[in-house]
Structure 1
Amino acid sequence: MSDTTPAPDTTTPADTAPAPEVAAAVPIPETPAPGADAGAADSQEKKGDDDAGDEPQNTLTRKFSDAEWTAVKELRAQLPEIFAEAYAAKEDKQAPVTLWGVQIDPASPKDARVSVVLIKFLRARDLKVAEARKMLTDTLKWREDFKLAEVLKEEFPEKIFGGLGKIYGKSKDGHPVVYNIYGGSDVNAVFGDVDRFLRWRVAFMEKCIEELDFENVDQMVQIHDYEGVSMMSRTPGQKAAASQASALFSSYYPELLSRKFFVNVPTVMAWVFWLFKALVPAKTMEKFSMVGTGPKVIGVELLPLVDAGELPKRYGGEALGWD
């Protein structure tokens, strides 16, 4: 989303539009795209199974390599210390917590879904355990400081935020498809309160993550639609939201993105995209696709990934979408 960049990472409107997520999302490290050598992948999966020993398994953990299992076990062993640091202000620093719908108990962390969560932090840091530990610690602390539980209960005005993000359909591989729609909203209403926008953005990302089971699917497809977006009149609120959202999702939502498509992109934004290309890790760029304008052109790129019945007509499919 980060992702992770963000569904609307820099999210939102158009001529009253938001800053493009193109520039904001580009620096986010993501999981490498699948390798082309199926035989090598099968071999790696078998080795991972061997190294896992009596580890609880699911579809995703069976794909771990030996090196990944070694890193997971090392990071998992440090969970009591990670919790003690992240929750230093709490009386019970070892209480189980739920991260992305997965309960992590430092006293009993041997669980396949927990392994899937931990590998995300490790992959985002090239399996460097110390760096992954810091990222996980910072994430847990941020969620506490951000008061995420309260944010998820907050009600955001449908008139202002209702059209910015949509979850619709799944890819052929079962990944939920998330649409970030930047055009047609009231920029002043959306970005007049940057903190509120960020709370909405985080809540939307968490809603997207609810579509992942961390057993068979642990990533999403993002489609960022810039139809009608003007780059000539960005407000200070838009710029601040873009910068802060990008930093937030790259820091606290690792490896949740399968593919990201930028569609209906203005020419000036396409240039920004290509300028950033040289600054972004190759494995991240493999997930990004800059697509032209119009259903037919967009469909050529998306239909190999998403069945026509799951893809809205405006993007070249046959589904009604949310219209």
Structure 2
Amino acid sequence: MFRRWNNSHHEKDSDEQQEKVTELKAALGPLSGRGLQYCSDACLKRYLEARSWNVDKAKKMLEETLRWRSTYKPEEIRWHEVAVEGETGKVFRANFHDRHGRTVLILRPGKQNTTSIDNQIRHLVYLIENAILNLPEGQEQMAWLIDFTGWSITNNVPIKSAKDTVNVLQNHYPERLAVAFLYSPPRIFEAFWKIVKFFLDPKTFQKVKFVYPKNKDSVELMRSYFDVDNLPTEFGGKATLQYDHEEFSRQMAQDDVKAAKVWGFDKHPNGFTGAEVAPEPETLASPAS
């Protein structure tokens, strides 16, 4: 009896959500080009979820993203444009998923190798888009693993860079982050964190987890997300973490071809004009949204 009620209750929630999606779609008005391709029902749900299902707030947020995407053009970034940022493996897509099948990005701030914040953000945006491109069907979110090996106040991420990163993730990739594990951050990081956490909205803040090797509860929480055999030793697991820049570059070049097909760039080398309607994406991967 309870199960039957629970199912009908879930269906009711689903119906209500779909009504909100329809309402948001109507509020946005006619879309064309990449905007039409970007604003799938799943995308609209993410923006609604990020704004507690308030249609007006979700509409404002989504319109800001569409403006950002029209100028920043994240789907057009190609690996060769940002490859120099990735030479040390400071951010890269892992070759394993978490227990829920989510794509995993590994961030190693101690491996910072450049000084241009704009280029660093562009590199991260490329990899967020790539993580989304490589999500398995039915999965919408990614996980972040942040390794503080080699991190010190001398190679500290500038506050502006941290703020820009948070703004891009929260404002333009809502509900894409499932969890971010900060593994064994040094004590000096605490002062930095006290500033950064003010940039985080409550939902994002709840997704950030600190893990300390000597804290059994935090280690168990992390292992509830990851198979210890896949998890690199840097994160308390058993796997060897090796970043091969040449091999990763080959993977990204292949993914750039895949992204071009998803967005229709293989048919329209110069991209879409504002009036064009994007062709239906091929079923290689869900378009970044």
The structure whose residues are more often helix, as a share, is 2
Deviation at 1:208?
1.2
Letter in 2 for 1:126: S
What are structure 2's unaligned runs of at least 5 residues? 244-289
The TM-score normalised by the length of structure 2 is 0.70
Specify which of 177, 180, 186 is matched with residue 257 of structure 1.
Answer: 177
Matched, 1:217 2:132: no
Cα separation, 1, equivalents of 2:145 and 2:52: 26
AA paired with 1:75? Answer: L
Task: Tell me whether 1:174 sits opposite 2:101 in the alignment.
Answer: yes
Please list the CA deviations of residues 218-254 of structure 1 after superposition, one character each: whole Å capped at 9, or x if unmatched: 111111122221236648xx33322222222221110
- Cα distance between partner residues in 2 of 1:285 and 1:263: 16
Aligned pairs for 1:143-222 within 5 A:
143-152=69-78, 154-158=80-84, 161-168=87-94, 169-186=96-113, 190-191=114-115, 193-213=116-136, 215-222=137-144
Residues 120, 255 of structure 1: 8 Å contact kept: yes
Question: Which residue among 66, 90, 97 is the counterpart of 1:140?
Answer: 66
1:75 aligned residue:
24
Amino acid at match of 2:119: R
2:225 to 287, 290, 305: 305
2:57 alignment partner, one of 131, 134, 157: 131
CA separation in 1, counterparts of 2:206 and 2:75? Answer: 34
Q: How many residue pairs are counted as aligned between the two chains?
A: 241
Contact 1:259–1:288 (CA under 8 A) maintained in structure 2: yes
Indicate if the aligned counterparts of 1:295 and 1:315 stay in contact, CA closer than 8 A: no
Are residue 47 (structure 1) and residue 12 (structure 2) matched? no
Shift of 1:79: 3.7
* Deviation readout 1:1-20 (Å, 9 max, x if unpaired): xxxxxxxxxxxxxxxxxxxx
Q: Which runs of 5+ in 1 are unaligned?
A: 1-38, 52-63, 84-93, 106-113
1:215-254, aligned counterparts within 5 Å?
215-231=137-153, 234=156, 238-254=158-174
2:215 paired with 1:292: no
Q: Show CA shifts across 1:139-179 (max 9, x none).
A: 11111111334323652244754411122211111112221
Q: Following the alignment from structure 2 to structure 1, what is the Cα–Cα distance between the partners of residues 204 and 5?
A: 24
Query: Which TM-score applies when normalising by structure 1?
Result: 0.63
Structure 2 contact 91–108 (Cα < 8 Å) conserved: yes
- Identity over aligned residues, as a percent? 24
Amino acid at match of 2:123: W
In 2, Cα distance between the equivalents of 1:201 and 1:115? Answer: 25
Contact 1:74 1:129 in 2 (8 A): yes
In the alignment, the residues of structure 1 paired with residue 198 and residue 73 of structure 2 have an alpha-carbon distance, to the nearest angstrom, of: 37
Asked if the contact 2:147–2:234 (Cα under 8 Å) also holds between the matched residues in 1, the reply is: no
Q: Secondary structure at the match of 2:56?
A: helix
Evaluate the alpha carbon distance shift between residue 268 and residue 45 of structure 1 in structure 2; reply closer, same or farther with a 3 A threshold: farther
Distance 2:236 2:88 in 1: 23
Over the aligned positions, Cα root-mean-square deviation in angstroms equals 3.3
Contact 1:178 1:220 in 2 (8 A): yes
For the residue of structure 2 that corresponds to 1:139, the secondary structure is: helix
Q: Indicate how the Cα distance of structure 1 residues 273 and 68 shifts in structure 2: closer, same or farther if over 3 A, else same.
A: farther
